[in-house]
C-alpha cells in the first residue's frame, strides 16, 4: 500500500477470526451451489432481491413492509407516502442494473446513485458539494472529510481495490467501510455503499449477488453503527470486517435452511421451459387431467412465487390466457 493511500485507508489486521469466517463462507457457498437448481435459484433471487430492497430502505427509515414492497415491484398500487414508494421503485431499478455495472468504474457508481436517488435529492449522480456528518439524534458520530477531497479520496479507494492482493471478501468489507467513512454523496450513502458491497462480492462468487445481507444488517443495525464508530475511533477497520463477514456467513446459513420449492412448482417451471403455453397445453405436457388440482397445486403456487407470469395479466380469466417463465 502506497504512502499516499495509507493517509486515508485505516490499517486492518487479518485476524484468525477472519480466516475462519472466510473458510466457512466458502464451504457454505459450495453447499448452496451444489444443492441449487434453476427453479430454486429463480425463486431465491426474486425473494432475496425484495428482502434486500426492503431491508436497505428500512435502515434509512422507510416504513413500507415486505408485502408493500412486493406489491410495488409487481406493479400494484398501495397506500403509502409517495416518497417511500419512489424509494422502492428507484432501488428496484438500481438493483436490476447491478450485475451489468463495473465495480471498478466510478462512472457506474455515480450512475447507480443517480438511479437510486432520482427525484429524492437535489445532488443526484454527483459527489457532494458540501460537508456532511453522521448523526445519532443530535450527536455527531462521524464528520466526513471535506467535500473538496471527495473525488481524490474516491479515486484512491478504487485504485486501492484494483491493486490490492487481499482476499476479495476482506477487500469488499474494507471498501464498504471506507465508502461510509468518505461519505461521498449528500444523501444515499448507506444504501449505495451496501449495494456496491454486493456488487463487489458478486465478482468473486456470482451467487453472492443474491444474498440479502441487508436483512441481517437491518436486524443488527445498532451493532452495525457501533462497529463503524469503533473502527473510526481506532483507525482500524478490522472489527467492521469481522462483523460483515459474520453477517455474510449467517445469511448463507439462512439461505441453506430456507424452505424448498415444491415438486409441483418445479415440474410446471421445467415443463414450460422457454415456451409460452396455455393451461391446457401445460397440463397435457405434464400428463395431468384434473383442472382444479392443476390450478391449486401447480399453477397458482408458481404464479404466487413469481416464477411464471400471465401473458394477459389484466384479464386473468381470459380464454386466450397463456403462461411463461417470468424473467428475474
* Per-run averaged pLDDT (10 residues), the chain, 328 residues: 49 93 92 61 74 92 93 90 96 92 96 96 95 74 88 94 94 95 94 94 89 83 90 92 94 68 79 90 91 89 82 91 83
Examine residue 242 and state whether it is found in any structural domain, yes or no.
yes
Structural element, H or E, at residue 317: none
Taking CA atoms, 175 is separated from 2, 149, 162, 230, 277, in Å, by: 16, 17, 11, 17, 47
Let me know whether 73 and 142 are in one domain.
yes
What cell does 22 get? 472466510
Residue 148's pLDDT is what?
94
How far apart, in whole angstroms, are the C-alpha atoms of residue 324 and residue 269?
9
Taking CA atoms, 116 is separated from 12, 56, 111, 113, 299, in Å, by: 31, 11, 9, 5, 34
Taking CA atoms, 157 is separated from 93, 124, 228, in Å, by: 26, 21, 18
Let me know whether 122 and 228 are in one domain.
yes
3-state secondary structure of 204: coil
DSSP 94: H
Taking CA atoms, 90 is separated from 48, 73, 304, 324, in Å, by: 17, 10, 24, 26
Judge whether 301 and 307 are in contact, CB under 8 Å.
no
Let me know whether 96 and 116 are in one domain.
yes
3-state secondary structure of 63: coil
- pTM for the model: 0.77
Residue 200's pLDDT is what?
96
How far apart, in whole angstroms, are the C-alpha atoms of residue 40 and residue 261?
6
Residue 328's pLDDT is what?
53
Domain boundary pick from 222, 257, 292? 257
Let me know whether 234 and 269 are in one domain.
no
Examine residue 118 and state whether it is found in any structural domain, yes or no.
yes
What cell does 117 get? 436517488
Domain boundary pick from 238, 257, 276? 257
Let me know whether 180 and 246 are in one domain.
yes
- Angle at the Cα of 223 (from 217 to 226), degrees rounded to 5? 125
Q: Which domain holds residue 85?
A: 13-257
DSSP per-residue letters across 232-263:
HHHT--HHHHHHHHHHHHHHHHHHHHSPPPPH
Q: How many structural domains compose the chain?
A: 2
- Which CATH number does the domain housing residue 240 bear? 1.10.3290.10
Examine residue 3 and state whether it is found in any structural domain, yes or no.
no
Amino acid at each position: 500500500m502506497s504512502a499516499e493511500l495509507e493517509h486515508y485507508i485505516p490499517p486492518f489486521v487479518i485476524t484468525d477470526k477472519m480466516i475462519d469466517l472466510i473458510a466457512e463462507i466458502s464451504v457454505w457457498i459450495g453447499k448452496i451451489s451444489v444443492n441449487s437448481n434453476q427453479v430454486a435459484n429463480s425463486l431465491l433471487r426474486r425473494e432475496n432481491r425484495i428482502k434486500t430492497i426492503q431491508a436497505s430502505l428500512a435502515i434509512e427509515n422507510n416504513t413500507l413492509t415486505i408485502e408493500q414492497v412486493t406489491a410495488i415491484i409487481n406493479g400494484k398500487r398501495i397506500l403509502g407516502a409517495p416518497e417511500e414508494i419512489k424509494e422502492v421503485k428507484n432501488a428496484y431499478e438500481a438493483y436490476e442494473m447491478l450485475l451489468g455495472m463495473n465495480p471498478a468504474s466510478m462512472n457506474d457508481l455515480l450512475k447507480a446513485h443517480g438511479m437510486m436517488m432520482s427525484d429524492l435529492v437535489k445532488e443526484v449522480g454527483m459527489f457532494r458539494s458540501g460537508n456532511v456528518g453522521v448523526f445519532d439524534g443530535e450527536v455527531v458520530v462521524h464528520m466526513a472529510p471535506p467535500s473538496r477531497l471527495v473525488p481524490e479520496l474516491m479515486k484512491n479507494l478504487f485504485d486501492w481495490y484494483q491493486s490490492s492482493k487481499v482476499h476479495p471478501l476482506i477487500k469488499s468489507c474494507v471498501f464498504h467501510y471506507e465508502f461510509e467513512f468518505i461519505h461521498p454523496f449528500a444523501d444515499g450513502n448507506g444504501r449505495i455503499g451496501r449495494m456496491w458491497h454486493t456488487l463487489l462480492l458478486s465478482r468473486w462468487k456470482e451467487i453472492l449477488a443474491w444474498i440479502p445481507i441487508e436483512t441481517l444488517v437491518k436486524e443488527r443495525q445498532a451493532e452495525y453503527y457501533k462497529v463503524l464508530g469503533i473502527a473510526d475511533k481506532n483507525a482500524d477497520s478490522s472489527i467492521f470486517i469481522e462483523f460483515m463477514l459474520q453477517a455474510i456467513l449467517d445469511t448463507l446459513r439462512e439461505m441453506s435452511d430456507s424452505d424448498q420449492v415444491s415438486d409441483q412448482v418445479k415440474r410446471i417451471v421445467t415443463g414450460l421451459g422457454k415456451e409460452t403455453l396455455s393451461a391446457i397445453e401445460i397440463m397435457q405436457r405434464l400428463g395431468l387431467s384434473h383442472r382444479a388440482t392443476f390450478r391449486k397445486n401447480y399453477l397458482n403456487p408458481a404464479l404466487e412465487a413469481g416464477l411464471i407470469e400471465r401473458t394477459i395479466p389484466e384479464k386473468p380469466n381470459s380464454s386466450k390466457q397463456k403462461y411463461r417463465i417470468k424473467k428475474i
